[in-house]
Amino acid sequence: MSRAELVEINFDGVIGPSHNYAGLSPGNLAATKNRGETAHPRAAALQGIAKMRANLTLGLTQGVLLPHARPDRQWLAALGTGYDHAPPHTQAQALSASSMWAANAATVSPAPDTLDGRCHLSVANLATMPHRSHEWPETLAQLRLAFADAAFAVHAPVPPPFGDEGAANHMRLAATHDAPGIEIFVYGIAGGPFPARQHPDASAAVARRHGLDPARTLFVQQSEQAIAAGAFHNDVVAVANGNVLFAHEQAFEDKAHFYDLLRRAMPEVEIVEVPAARVSLADAIASYLFNAQLVTLPSGEMALILPSEARATPSVWNWLQEHVAGNGPIRQLEVVDVRESMANGGGPACLRLRVVADPATIDPRFLVDYARLDRIAQVVEAHWPEEIPAGAIADPALIARIEGARRALFEALDLPELSN
């Protein structure tokens, strides 16, 4: 396979029919604040689909990962219960639609970076949060199906207790997507009152398993201040694409050392730092400025795909307008509405997993064009619950509807039942 065929593909998690606001993630300020609000799964999924359509219109290659079987009956059985008899917090943990945040599905090292020339994917164990700790078996099943070709190596998760949150704590810089890159693993040690979710030993294990070149691999500590301010994942305070690192001034614990190592490993790197004096950490996190998709368009220019909350935050929008008006590397701003996901602390970048690969090597059922997105939207319109109020998750009729909705989607996409 010639490297010219490698492109970046964004795999978005289709937002599942059980999307609700149970406030399950301490340290995730949006999710905690919106606990008990009424969620709108149908609108949420349609927002995600509209974002994917907009990406296609920008000329990007788009894929999907599918909602997991929820409630997770296998997980409940392992806990010695069925859904109906489980305590309310266990019901909420079994029902969460959190697999929508595909950035947490896996860490991906594209073929040009690895020793054996294959694209390596390590499924994340998400061990820190109970409601996310049982995502990995179905994620693994989906990835094994989508990336069954010999061009890929799909790894089971790093064993707990070494928490791994996948691509949300990983960045890649490369002159072009198909060139060897610098891979940056961002781990957490402390987060004030909140858990640091990415264990440094998990990052090191993933890098070893992927066969990365130590000279082109950096391990960097996320700042305690950022985690304490609600940046529970690095991708809430930094994002990389091509030769550009776009980060908040307070994203990293020892910024000077990290930038120094990075400039030595990649002299052409362009670091675009947003000073705290212009955009506070609080504004960056509330608006999800950095949880944007920084993408290279077919024209070669870079665009930033931002949540509408970024446009509504004056400090953020002013900084962005100045950057685009000046000579900065980000040339275009694209605003998307993913409000339902945002209210659970997941922005545009959380919803997607980036894989650099030849699309011809991927199971076509996981790739989408407009027609396939229309088909997904039809199933969502017909089957996804319009709303899930806080108290509704014990209702057996709602649960039956959620399970039927996912089944209808799998049938429409010609996918086999993967679990439960």
Whose structure tokens read 């998307």?
336
CB count in 10 Å sphere of residue 397: 8
Question: What DSSP string runs through 110-170?
Answer: -GGGBTTSSEEEEE---TTSTTTTTSHHHHHHHHHHHT-STTEEEEPPPPTTS---GGGGE
Q: Which of 101, 136, 152, 317 binds ligand SUG (CB under 6 A)?
A: 101
Nearer to ligand SUG, 129 or 226 (CB): 129
* x/- track of binding to ligand SUG for residues 295-334 (CB under 6 A): ----------------------------------------
Confirm or reject binding of residue 41 to ligand SUG (CB under 6 A): no
User: Active site includes 119?
Assistant: no
Confirm or reject binding of residue 24 to ligand SUG (CB under 6 A): yes
Confirm or reject binding of residue 354 to ligand SUG (CB under 6 A): no
Whole-number minimum distance, CB 168 to ligand SUG, in Å? 3
Taking the CA atoms of residue 238, residue 240, residue 246 and residue 248 in that order, the dihedral angle to the nearest 10 degrees is 10
Whole-number minimum distance, CB 354 to ligand SUG, in Å? 12
C-alpha–C-alpha distance, residues 415 and 278, integer Å: 48
Residue 40 in contact with residue 208, Cβ under 8 Å? no
Confirm or reject binding of residue 340 to ligand SUG (CB under 6 A): no
Kindly name the residue from 134, 233, 248, 323 that is annotated as catalytic. 233
Nearer to ligand SUG, 47 or 96 (CB): 96
Confirm or reject binding of residue 132 to ligand SUG (CB under 6 A): yes
- Joined together, the tokens standing for residue 74 give 């296998």
Strands 119-123 and 152-155: parallel
User: Active site includes 350?
Assistant: yes
Whole-number minimum distance, CB 131 to ligand SUG, in Å? 6
Whole-number minimum distance, CB 173 to ligand SUG, in Å? 18
CA angle 247, 253, 255 (to 5 degrees): 55
CB count in 10 Å sphere of residue 37: 15
Residues lying near ligand SUG in the complex (CB under 6 A) are found at: 22-25, 28, 31, 96, 98, 101, 103-104, 129, 132, 168, 232-233, 235-236, 344-346, 350
